[in-house]
A and B are shown apart, each in its own frame.
Chain A
Amino acid sequence: MAHCERASKPLLKCIRTSYVRGLAGVQLPANRGFQSSAVARDEAQGETASQPFYRAPDPALVSSPRLEKKLLKQGIAPIGSRRRRVALQGSDNIPFEQLPYQCFQEARQILQADREEKLQEIQSVREKIARVQAVPTENVREELAKKSKLGALEQHLQHLKILADINDPLVKRKFEDGQGDMTKPVYRFLAKRKWEEYRRKILVQRITQMKVIPDVLAHCEPVVDTKLYFGRRVVQPGDFVTSRISATAPKLDIQMFEREEKLVTIAVVDPDVPNVETDSFDYRVHYLAVNVPISILNTKVDLAKLSPEAQVILPWLAPVAQKGSPYHRLSVFILDQKDSQPLNVADLKAQETNRDNTQLRTLQARYHLKPIGAHLFRTQWDETTAEVMEEIGFSDANVELRRKRVEPLPYKRRNPASFR
């Protein structure tokens, strides 16, 4: 068999199978390719081979929208793109080492050699760190120098750890499948990069353009990825949420990218409470909880389920906007407590009883908080607001706001002489 024939065989096979499948309109389970660790799963598939594919569709191979929907109903998301899943159906399960492409294998060898080099470097840096730590210090100056040197070495080590794995195709695939292990530095790096590429930019734009940043807090550089859910519906930053939906407390998904445990304060502040007497806007704290632990793996925070004794200072107050009033911005802030030390809940409960006219700036200064994440949603008058107002006993429920009539300036003839 000629070399070119052998090389084109998998491709031809792929085309043929996809063609047949396209005609028949039936999904055939096939082994996954481009994978070296699929043996165990293949065995598992062999056991369930008696079942037809549509009964138990494989999330990695399913390609018809109907079966995908079925899987989603069960709570399993299909893996990767549909195009990739279709390609996997027709591919042979050849591990990377045995793929018959010479250039590919050469490239793999280069990458492996690079990884070996990086691993050796990591080893040497670790030894160096141990050596530096072992050196005793006499005065403060030496202590500081040692500390800064150790910090730099640690940073370099983290960088090397990322470099060792960043070129691995399996790492890339696992991350894209959403199976990345966030305890490993390379997946954290990839996740952070992905967040910063789009979602963080959107968030920063929304909170600055909607003036949350000078209105509620002076500065905020988000470093944690925050998602907000009302029920199962995810809310994009700045979305309008109807009053009925926001009557129950939301859920947060706070994804950190640093490997440390943190205690955070979560505050939801509305800076747009209209005040007709002073002809301006007031602040209202809709939610305040302290000592909420978050870490890389512990990301889900349900604001309704935090402990009312140990964490929640001010429970959830449903946001409502009076009819005719400008929209209310409900800003959610995640604030890092200083040195991750717990705050005294009893003191806070005694002091922070007033929802109205409590500025987040004041709290930030009083308890030395540092904003690390933010989110935003908006609310305005809708059909369900009246009901929600009744439920929460809103005082000004039967008041509507109208624009004040502006007296026009008196007409003044500017230069009467020239008109004559």
Chain B
Amino acid sequence: MLQPRLLTPFRVFERAIAPSLRSAQNLYQSRPLLPRALPTPSKPTPSFSLLPFAQVRHASHATQGAANRHSRDPAGKRLGAKRTGGEYVVPGCIIFRQRGTKWFPGENCGMGRDHTIYATHAGYVQYYLDPERHPDRRYIGVCFEKEGKLPNPRNAPTKRKLNMVAIPRVVEENTTVAVVGEEEAATGPQMRPGYMFREANWVIGRAAEEAGVTAKPFDRTNRWLAWRKRQARVKRSAQMKSFKNNSKKGGKKSGGGR
């Protein structure tokens, strides 16, 4: 498949060390007792060990197996720009999906866990370079004005927006859980997720408390109680096992009988 071929650099290299090679050949040749009239070939045959890289891959070989190779390509990951320059974006809007940081987040932009660039403020997308900040990086920014220019001058105050509204401050009272609970409990069962008409879980959890049921506090030194509980559990599990076995046996028996 791969053919050895003489390459010019190797030829030069070989010529340089030819005398030594020749002598080495002479060592292996059985020396004739009488010097022959015919001279030994001046050009020695190149040895294979000297030319490990002198391999050729012909076109007929290269095409082998290419027919199905590209069909194994994975599905596209839908990367790239989701918003072009000048487009209006709102906070959280994804601007660019990428693998690695092909683009960096600039003004009013953030970068997600998978290097996705998203907007942190509402504005107009700009793709720009900022050589003062970094000579090679490309940035994506969001400019507040449609005709604005990024990057901002390095020593100018940063342009920011408050994006907040003023509302009257509510002074927090010390509201206890019990008070809230009573209010909620008064409303009674409600429609819960999964179309269940029932009380809230926390109300159910407090049922024992409301009923005045008290449990003995757990005492880890009370081994007598622990033994009784364990015995009860063993008994119950044995009973369950027996039910299971019976039903299995019955099923098998009935199946075999038929």
Contacts and interface: CB of A to CB of B under 8 A. Distances in A.
A382 to B, nearest CB: 14
Chain A CB count within 10 A is highest, among B156, B157, B162, for B162
B90 A404 contact: no
B16 interface: no
B90 A400 contact: no
Contacts of B154: 214
B90 A279 contact: no
A214 B91 CA distance: 24
Contacts of B164: 274, 276, 324-325, 401-404
A215 B157 CA distance: 4
Given A281-B160, A406-B91, A408-B90, A218 B166 contact: no
Contacts of A21: none
Interface in A373-409: 396-404, 406-409
Contact of A214 (B88, B93, B156): B156
Interface stretch (B25-33, B167-175, B208-216): B167-175
B169 A399 contact: yes
B8 to A, nearest CB: 56
B60 interface: no
A280 B167 contact: no
Given A214-B157, A407-B90, A400 B162 contact: no
A39 B69 CA distance: 90
10 smallest CB-CB distances across A and B, nearest first, come from A218-B155, A400-B169, A401-B164, A399-B166, A276-B166, A215-B157, A406-B90, A398-B169, A404-B163, A279-B162
Interface string A345-381: 0000000000000000000000000000000000000
Given A274-B162, A275-B162, A408-B90, A400 B168 contact: yes
8 contacts: A218-B156, A274-B164, A276-B165, A279-B162, A280-B160, A400-B168, A403-B163, A409-B88
Contacts of A219: 155
Contact of B165 (A216, A218, A402): A402
B71 interface: no
Interface of A: 211, 214-216, 218-219, 271, 274-276, 279-281, 323-325, 396-404, 406-409
Interface of B: 88-93, 122, 154-158, 160-170
A406 B161 CA distance: 13
A69 B155 CA distance: 48
Nearest to B157: A215
B87 to A, nearest CB: 10
Contacts of B90: 406-409
B108 to A, nearest CB: 13
B154 to A, nearest CB: 7
Contacts of A279: 161-163
Contacts of A276: 162, 164-166
B88 A400 contact: no
A279 B160 CA distance: 9
Nearest to A401: B164
Nearest to A407: B90
A365 to B, nearest CB: 13
Contact of A280 (B93, B161, B166): B161
Nearest to B160: A281
A400 B170 contact: yes
B88 to A, nearest CB: 7
B166 A401 contact: yes
Contacts of A396: 166
